[in-house]
Amino acid sequence: QVQLVQSGAEAKKPGSSMKVSCRASEFGSATITWLRQAPGQGLEWMGRVIPILNIVNYAQKFQGRVKITADKATNTAYMEMSSLQSEDTAVYYCARGRDWFGPWGQGTLVTVSS
């Protein structure tokens, strides 16, 4: 089964940017999706990438502020977010799948604080 390993926790200042990576054991024809979960809150879909087709979709809420990419050579997907605010403090997950998701990466905690 595909395994997903994410980059480590980050601390960011308001207004800065972040970039989280997600390395897969293999991409194949899979879709990699990004989601997030604010502390004590539910899950939020951010967008997806189909590496083999270079197709990317974003949730409307994140359009223009998030960039999702994939490097087929290293089987690594990336999620970049700009103009960070305290409300962006969350655990960010990558997961395999277009519509339903499994398996998931272990999550990356991003804390935005001055």
Partner 1 sequence: EIVLTQSPGTLSLSAGERATLSCRASQRISSISLAWYQQTPGQAPRLLIYGASNRATGVPDRFSGSGSGTDFTLTIARLEPDDFAVYYCQQYDNSASLTFGGGTKVQSK
Round to whole Å and give the CA distance between 53 and 73. Answer: 14
Q: Does position 23 bind partner 1 by CB under 8 A?
A: no
Q: Does position 3 bind partner 1 by CB under 8 A?
A: no
Q: Shortest distance, CB of residue 44 to partner 1, whole angstroms? A: 7
Q: Does position 43 bind partner 1 by CB under 8 A?
A: yes
Q: Shortest distance, CB of residue 15 to partner 1, whole angstroms? A: 28
Round to whole Å and give the CA distance between 86 and 80. Answer: 16
How many residues at the interface with partner 1, by CB under 8 A? 21
Q: Which amino acid is at 91?
A: V
Please provide the size of the chain in residues.
Answer: 114
